[in-house]
Amino acid sequence: MTPSKWGSCNAAKGIVWLNTELSAKPINATDYVILHELAHLISDRHDDQFVAVLNQHMP
Ligand SMILES: [Zn+2]
């Protein structure tokens, strides 16, 4: 996947990077970025499987 300003994920290595500036953002935005990057451990694309993980944990 393409790294974003706020976070990125290397699923092959099981590593998630988060921008430390996230700590100044609202907690729900931070939660979303963390969930987004963790979901990339399941799917490296924004496909149906990826969206299902987001919907399950942050409907
Ligand atoms: Zn993504």
- One DSSP character per residue, 5-58 reads SSEEEETTTTEEEE-GGGGGS-HHHHHHHHHHHHHTTT-SSSSHHHHHHHHHH-
Decide which of 11 and 4 is more confident: 11
Q: Indicate the pLDDT class of residue 4, thresholds 50, 70 and 90.
A: confident
Q: Which domain holds residue 51?
A: 7-57
Residue 44 in any domain: the answer is: yes
Centroid of ligand 1 to alpha carbon of 21 (angstroms): 18
Centroid of ligand 1 to alpha carbon of 50 (angstroms): 9
Centroid of ligand 1 to alpha carbon of 40 (angstroms): 7
| Residues near ion ligand 1 (Cβ under 5 Å) | 1
Residue 1 in any domain: the answer is: no
Q: Indicate the pLDDT class of residue 3, thresholds 50, 70 and 90.
A: low
Q: Residue 47 pLDDT > 70, yes or no?
A: yes
Report how many domains make up the chain: 1
Residue 33 in any domain: the answer is: yes
Q: Residue 33 pLDDT > 60, yes or no?
A: yes
Residue 51 in any domain: the answer is: yes
Residue 49 in any domain: the answer is: yes
